[in-house]
A and B are shown apart, each in its own frame.
Chain A
Amino acid sequence: EAGVVQSPRYKIIEKKQPVAFWCNPISGHNTLYWYRQNLGQGPELLIRYENEEAVDDSQLPKDRFSAERLKGVDSTLKIQPAELGDSAVYLCASSIIAGVVADTQYFGPGTRLTVL
């Protein structure tokens, strides 16, 4: 069974430029998560999808970040414009289902973003 796929693995951009990250979750997983992980820290949730619906985007900086999950499968996270403080690893995860209680999450390898 294929795991969570993310691309690109690395991205270096100048500040104020846009950037997009792509995630393909494990087949059959209804719930998809985007996390940001700063150096030396644990992941912090940005947004969670149940199928196509964003059920928790309370920590997504909506002035510059956007996300979509069309057809309830693949997802894209975008930053426009990027700032220096956005340098981090962006992790995508999926789980079979989530609701009242958190299920086991399966993580992709992440995209390491460097903003110069």
Chain B
Amino acid sequence: SQQGEEDPQALSIQEGENATMNCSYKTSINNLQWYRQNSGRGLVHLILIRSNEREKHSGRLRVTLDTSKKSSSLLITASRAADTASYFCATDLYNQGGKLIFGQGTELSVKP
């Protein structure tokens, strides 16, 4: 079963616009991770945010975590066509021995 639910399932924007993807989960976590997957490729790790952190940045990526609402968001600023990919959140559930549960993903399309 998959714990993380991502919203929206698909997102289409123009180059230069910002893209926001959301992830909700159901139980307590140790950390939450975001991954990107280009078509036909494996997943690439983007950011890990721990349960005691509220915000992290990496280049044009900004991740927030609200443990009271059990939700996280990934913001990509000034998007590029190369950002076109599927984005997955993965939750490290508390007391589950380091097992990651992936959501269904958000398919982002950035049009030039």
From A40, A44, A107, contact of B42 by CB (8 A): A107
B42 touches A99 (CB 8 A): no
A-B contact number at CB 8 A: 67
Q: Tell me the minimal C-beta distance from B28 to chain A in angstroms.
A: 13
Contact B45 A48 (CB under 8 A): no
In the complex formed, the residue of B with least CB distance to A92 is B42
Measured CA separation A87–B31 after assembly (Å): 31
Partner-binding segment picked from B52-60, B73-81, B102-110 = B102-110
Least distance between A39 CB and chain B CB atoms (Å): 11
Return chain A residues, CB-CB under 8 Å to B102. 42-44
Distance, CA A112 to CA B35, complexed state (A): 19
Which B residues from 32 to 57 make CB contacts under 8 A with A? 33, 35, 40-45, 48
A20-56 near B? 1/0 per residue, CB < 8 Å: 0000000000000000000011111100100000011
Q: Does B88 contact A (CB under 8 A)?
A: yes
Tell me if B42 and A108 are in contact (CB < 8 A).
Answer: yes
Given contacts A44-B2, A102-B33, contact A107 B97 (CB under 8 A): no
Quick check: is B16 within 8 A (CB to CB) of the other chain?
no
Known: A101-B30, A107-B42. 15 other contacts (CB 8 A): A40-B105, A41-B104, A41-B105, A42-B105, A43-B43, A44-B102, A93-B42, A99-B97, A100-B98, A101-B98, A102-B92, A105-B45, A107-B35, A108-B42, A109-B41
B binding-site residues for A, Cβ under 8 Å? 2, 4, 30-31, 33, 35, 40-45, 48, 88, 90, 92, 97-100, 102-105
Closest 7 CB pairs of A and B: A42-B102, A107-B42, A102-B92, A98-B98, A107-B43, A102-B98, A101-B30
